[in-house]
Amino acid sequence: MDAGTPVPRHGLRRLGVVVATLLFLVGVVEVGFRLRASEPWYERLEEEQGAAASEEEGQPKVDGRPFGIPAALAQPPKAEGTYRILFLGDSFTFGSGVADATRIFPSLVTAELDARGAAGAARIEHFNGGIPGSLTHRWVELLEAAGDAYRPDLVVAVFFLRDGTRFIGGSRAHIRRIGAQMAELARTSWLFRHSHAYRWLRERRAQREFSGEYLELMRRAYFGDAQETFEWKRAQENLLALARASEARGARFALVLFPVLFELDEHYPLADVCAEVERFAAEHGLVYHSLLPAFLGQDAASLWVSALDQHPNERGHAIAARALADFLEPLVRAAR
């Protein structure tokens, strides 16, 4: 057919049907996105982090500092035939996002060890020293403040990978920067303003970039330059100080690694960071256990408190508790 030959009418009709079908499908998709539209993820994430910060500020204080200990520091005298475990850590140990304190892993582990008779006839008690928003120097302060009165037999430091970094969570400044970028798109892009489907695609891309930057920041905190690795080096000093202080009080010390609950498969993105923490523990002869194997193969999002809060929910705490009970039982039995 020559370039100047008109297109047959039946060909035009078919083309019209195809175009109309595509427009209809685009319309259906757009309507679907409009019906399920919600507050952008970056705004909800900033709100959740702001609420968490406010909650931490309202927690009881230890030595004039806002800690977040879910029980009073004053402890009853240690009764004969009692085995006490002191858990140290951050908001993961504290149980942020889980309303029932009996469903977080320090409580679950204690109940399980008691049920197994790990301490013989002794009654096992625990103290949850998880401090939301804390880094390891706060754990040293807490052991100094509570250790002599509580007289633990076992001190368990639960080290979340964020505890070796100088940033908390996803950095509210970073989240605000993403919000500013989306606001600029809304100002300059007609398609972003009027198409919910296109807006969703751009916001998902920003979320993937945010996750990638978070993971890279985490990795640099352990393998970067001297400034980037400052907190990890300080954390190592603090963990060794905890081991020495525990031993001075006649208590065993154990270091437990709690992984970031993200992409829990054979290509776990922070496996090298976990290996670095294990290297440190082995180098200094610390009793050590990683919870990463217990979580591998799980759907990470099903373990979160919410879609934007990666603290473990009750199911996540239950998985951690089973693995911890198996790890701690020989230590408790040996103390008999």
- The torsion of the CA quartet 266, 303, 90, 74, rounded to 10 degrees, works out to -140
What crossing angle do the helices spanning 136-150 and 230-248 adopt, rounded to 10°? 10
What are 263-292's pLDDT values in tens digits?
999 999 999 999 999 999 999 999 999 999
Beta bridge partner(s), residue 86: 127, 155
pLDDT confidence band for 62 (50 / 70 / 90): very low
Residue 55 above 70 pLDDT?
no
Beta bridge partner(s), residue 288: 255
Instruction: Spell out the domain ranges in the chain.
Output: 61-168+221-335
Q: What is the pLDDT of residue 220?
A: 92
- Stated as kind and residue range, the H or E segment containing 144 is helix 136-150
Can you spell out the DSSP letters for 235-282? HHHHHHHHHHHHHHTT-EEEEEEE---S--STT-TTHHHHHHHHHHHH
Q: Has this prediction a pTM greater than 0.85?
A: no
Can you spell out the DSSP letters for 145-194? HHHHHH--SEEEEEEEGGGGSSS-TT-HHHHHHHHHHHHHHHHH-HHHHH
- pLDDT mean over 153-169: 88
Q: What is the pLDDT of residue 190?
A: 75
Sign of CA dihedral 256, 130, 167, 284: negative
Is residue 46 within 8 Å of 176, Cβ to Cβ? yes
Q: What is the pLDDT of residue 186?
A: 67
The CATH number of domain 61-168+221-335, selected from 3.40.50.150, 3.40.50.1110, 3.30.450.40, 3.40.50.10490: 3.40.50.1110
> What average pLDDT does the chain have?
80
